[in-house]
Structure 1
Amino acid sequence: MAAPVKPNVTMKEIEKLDIRCGTILKVEDIPKSKSLMKLTVDLGEEEARTILAGIKGEREDPTEIEGKQALFIVNLEPREMMGYTSHGMLFDIGFEDGITPVLAMPEKEVKNGVRAG
């Protein structure tokens, strides 16, 4: 059975989120963390971004997502975790429902930095 739907939000609230497609260039372990991995992501900007994601333990080999495109929230305040700064959030599917998460990704390759919505 699906989880209950959260309370309604306005379009104005949704428009505040900047969700973009990017390519995961590299996935690295953060040894002291039980859940975090360091992603290096090409979002079509001059420099690749570091985005920390709690994906350790979700896959036998977290590096299997290297080279894949996925959706990222890119306008979150930078956040310090485990000595690294995360500049966004991986947008994946399933974690909140207790299933092994999968990437939210385009059906075909698109230009890095393309916005969702």
Structure 2
Amino acid sequence: MKDTITYQDFIKLDIRVGEVTEATNVQNSTKLIRLLVDFGSDIGTRTILAGLAKWYAPSDFENQKFLFIVNLEPRKMAGEESQGMTLAADVDGLPKIVPAPNNLPNGTQIR
């Protein structure tokens, strides 16, 4: 288990439902998949790079809803900027992406 955090630390995370409208492998990377994610009208569309290409194909993401952290500082990876992070569970050392129910609108905040 990781160190205990306060509730105030937890509420700093902005976790949202996003729908992947396009997913492609990142050129010159064996690890990254580029996701174009629709977060609704308040946030819009963002590019998120997911280091999941070893376990998933881009088609596993397209037209699916997942949970993302949208208020992380942007990060450069493989010459591109990622504007958030995909949430994944650790199951026996393997990442399992966290789906969101289809009935939740894009941009819905998770608390």
Task: Give the structure-2-normalised TM-score.
Answer: 0.89
Q: Please tell me whether the aligned partners of residues 65 and 101 of structure 2 are also in contact (alpha carbons under 8 angstroms).
A: no
* Residue 59 (structure 2) pairs with residue 50 (structure 1): no
Structure 1 unaligned blocks of 5 or more? none
| Bigger strand share | 2
Task: Give the structure-1-normalised TM-score.
Answer: 0.85
Aligned ranges for residues 1-117 of structure 1 at < 5 Å?
Answer: 5-45=1-41, 47-59=44-56, 61-94=57-90, 97-99=92-94, 101-117=95-111
Identify the range of structure 1 (14-23 vs 44-53) with the bigger mean alpha-carbon deviation: 44-53
- Report the Cα offset of residue 70 of structure 1: 0.4
For residues 62-93 of structure 1, give each alpha carbon's deviation from its aligned partner in whole angstroms, at most 9, with x where no partner exists.
32221110000000111111121110001111
Q: Could you list the runs of 4 or more consecutive aligned residues of structure 1 that deviate by over 4 angstroms after TM superposition?
A: none
Query: How many aligned residue pairs are there?
Result: 110
User: Aligned with 2:9: secondary structure?
Assistant: helix
- Report the Cα offset of residue 106 of structure 1: 2.5
**Letter in structure 2 aligned against 1:30:** V
- Report the Cα offset of residue 108 of structure 1: 4.1
Counting aligned pairs with the same residue, the percent is 37
Q: Distance in 2 between matches of 1:110 and 1:64?
A: 19
Q: Distance in 2 between matches of 1:6 and 1:79?
A: 23
Q: Please tell me whether the aligned partners of residues 55 and 62 of structure 1 are also in contact (alpha carbons under 8 angstroms).
A: no
